[in-house]
Amino acid sequence: MVTLAELNSGKIPDWCPGCGDFGILNALKRAMMDTGLPHEKFYLVAGIGCSGKTPQWLNTYSIHTLHGRALPVATGAKLANTDLNVIVTGGDGDGYGIGAGHFLHAMRRNIDLTYVVFNNLVYGLTTGQTSPTSEKGFATKSTPFGVIEVPVNPLALAIASGATYVARGYAGDIVHLSKLIADGITHRGFALIDVLQPCVTFNHKNTYEWYQKTVYKLPETYNPADKMAAFQKSMEWGDSGIPIGVFYKESRPTYADELPQLSTPLVKQPIDNVDIDRLMQKMI
């Protein structure tokens, strides 16, 4: 199994002091260790944003992609080598804004990925513009009179789009969050872990203090196999309470399961009998 010493990159994150990203990084490390999987089985893929820097602080195979394009790159990596555990990190702007199309299609394909979204309800890296999850009325430099639109609901979207593991965690509860991430990694299929992440510099509404008062854990009696109940729970948001935990879980063949060509990972298939010259002739 991977150890903390193996995961530590020796680099110090340049996030703002107090940023919720630190809690998520710690939960991610803990989750990777808790799965019992070896170091070389992890592959991290990141979008662009403060959150997108995460793989830089971890010593693993990884790639820092383009804004909003982490999921297609991760899909390619997973389909090329189904033996890898591919974890994707990015922000709400990255995944639910510019990358929203990729988000929907990766979920309906049930690509076996673990997608951890650092949802701070704002654009952090670009210094505080509204994001697709910003609350209605939220005033920033890009919406000085407050956001007009209603926010994207990532959990409801994920349940409707075919994700097979849909959870929400909180960056201020590392133990609980690490369990959600570890379960997402071991789940076969697309796992979304949306994480409530305070941005101490640009979001002065959805703060640690606010989340401490509003966040509550789904009760033991909650049944994550009940899709309609999951939809209903995903609608809860605001001062009266925000649930965290596993909202929805189902077992369905993954995209790769449906392709017999991938029963042996592509990277392990012999290519000696492939006539590359003939292929090249066709293309040039």
Binding site for ligand TPP (CB under 6 A): 48-51, 67, 91-94, 118, 120, 123-126, 131
Helix ranges, the chain (H): 4-7, 21-34, 70-80, 92-93, 100-109, 154-161, 174-186, 208-214, 227-234, 276-283
Beta bridge partner(s), residue 64: 46
Q: In what order do the strands lie in the sheet with 114-119?
A: 61-64, 42-46, 85-91, 114-119, 191-196, 165-170, 242-249, 215-217
Query: In which element (H, E) is residue 46 found?
Result: strand 42-46
| Residue 201 binding partner per list ligand SF4, ligand TPP, none, with a CB distance cut-off of 5 to 8 Å that depends on partner kind | ligand SF4
In angstroms, what is the minimal distance from the CB of 133 to ligand SF4?
13
Identify what 54 binds: ligand SF4, ligand TPP, none; CB under 5 to 8 Å per kind: none
Q: Which is nearer to ligand SF4, 39 or 64 (CB)?
A: 64
- Phi, psi for residue 256 in degrees, rounded to 5: -65, -35
Q: How far is the CB of 222 from ligand SF4 (least distance, A)?
A: 30
Among 11-19, 76-84, 188-196, 243-251, the segment contacting ligand SF4 (CB under 6 A): 11-19
Residue 156 found at the interface with ligand SF4 (CB under 6 A): no
With tokens 């639910």, the residue in question is 96
Residues in 179-218 at the binding interface with ligand SF4, rule: CB under 6 A: 199-202
CB closer to ligand SF4 out of 165 and 202: 202
Cα–Cα dist 189/115, whole Å: 11
Nearer to ligand SF4, 13 or 265 (CB): 13
Q: Is 241 left (phi over 0), alpha (psi -120 to 50) or beta?
A: left
173's contact among ligand TPP, ligand SF4, none, with CB below 5 to 8 A by partner kind, is none
Q: How many CB atoms lie within 10 A of CB 15?
A: 20
Q: How far is the CB of 197 from ligand SF4 (least distance, A)?
A: 7
- Number of residues engaging ligand SF4 in binding (CB under 6 A): 11
Specify the residue, 152 or 230, whose C-beta has the smaller distance to ligand TPP: 152
Residue 96 binding: pick among ligand SF4, ligand TPP, none (C-beta 5-8 Å cut-off by kind): none
Cβ closer to ligand TPP: 65 or 178?
A: 65
3-state SS assignment for residue 247: strand
DSSP β-bridge partners for residue 114: 87, 191
Cα separation, 108 vs 86, in Å, equals 17
Report, in Å, the least distance between residue 97 CB and ligand TPP.
Answer: 7
Q: Which is nearer to ligand TPP, 47 or 243 (CB)?
A: 47
In the complex with ligand SF4, the residue whose CB is nearer, 67 or 78, is 67
- Measured between alpha carbons, how far is 41 from 266 in angstroms, rounded to an integer? 16
Binding site for ligand SF4 (CB under 6 A): 15-16, 19, 21, 50, 120, 124, 199-202
